[in-house]
């Protein structure tokens, strides 16, 4: 299969996240696809019930977005150091599953690569699973990367 656009959500720089990113980078490199790194800042979305229009909350929001930008820059630099050059970084704000699917639709993604923990059905009930939601709604295949 020929890939043109591969989306890889970047979460936290964890070992599992690094493994997912490595798989996405490998697939991008061998296929020549653009690797689209996505960081979704969910904190603002998840805090909607307590957020006000105050300048303090606006400063917090800006800080969260800046942290997301810095994470993307760091991951992009790491990938460029490994010889991956066709990279685009996208910062988004909102529900992670929705934003991943929306970007996949917008960019006509051929594949989404997601690092994920193996939650049990009970775990999904209590923790929710972004990977499960993305898989059910994505316009393209989703590759799950486990430990």
Q: Is residue 31 part of a domain?
A: no
Q: Is residue 107 part of a domain?
A: yes
pTM comes to 0.88
Dig out the tokens for 3 from the structure. 């890939």
- Number of folded domains that form the chain: 1
Q: How many CA atoms lie within 13 A of 107 on its CB side?
A: 25
Q: Is residue 125 part of a domain?
A: yes
Range of the domain at 96: 39-145
Q: Is residue 91 part of a domain?
A: yes
Q: Is residue 4 part of a domain?
A: no
pLDDT, tens digit only, all 147 positions of the chain: 689 999 999 877 678 888 999 999 999 999 999 999 999 998 777 787 787 788 888 898 899 899 999 999 999 999 999 999 999 999 999 999 999 999 999 999 999 999 887 655 555 554 568 888 999 999 999 999 987
Tell me if 111 sits within 8 A of 138, measured CB to CB. Answer: no
Tell me if 44 sits within 8 A of 54, measured CB to CB. Answer: no
Q: Is residue 126 part of a domain?
A: yes
- Domain containing 98 — which CATH number? 3.40.50.620
């Amino acid at each position: 299969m020929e890939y043109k656009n591969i989306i890889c959500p970047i979460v936290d720089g964890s070992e599992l996240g690094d493994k997912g990113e490595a798989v996405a980078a490998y697939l991008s490199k061998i296929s020549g696809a653009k690797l689209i790194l996505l960081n979704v800042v969910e904190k603002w979305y998840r805090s909607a019930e307590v957020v006000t229009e105050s300048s303090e909350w606006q400063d917090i929001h800006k800080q969260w977005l800046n942290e997301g930008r810095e994470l993307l820059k760091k991951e992009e630099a790491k990938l460029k150091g490994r010889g991956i050059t066709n990279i685009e970084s996208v910062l988004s704000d909102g529900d992670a599953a929705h934003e991943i699917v929306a970007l996949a639709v917008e960019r006509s993604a051929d594949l989404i690569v997601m690092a994920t923990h193996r939650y049990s059905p009970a775990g999904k009930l209590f923790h929710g699973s972004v990977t499960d939601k993305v898989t059910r709604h994505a316009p393209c295949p989703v590759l799950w990367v486990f430990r």
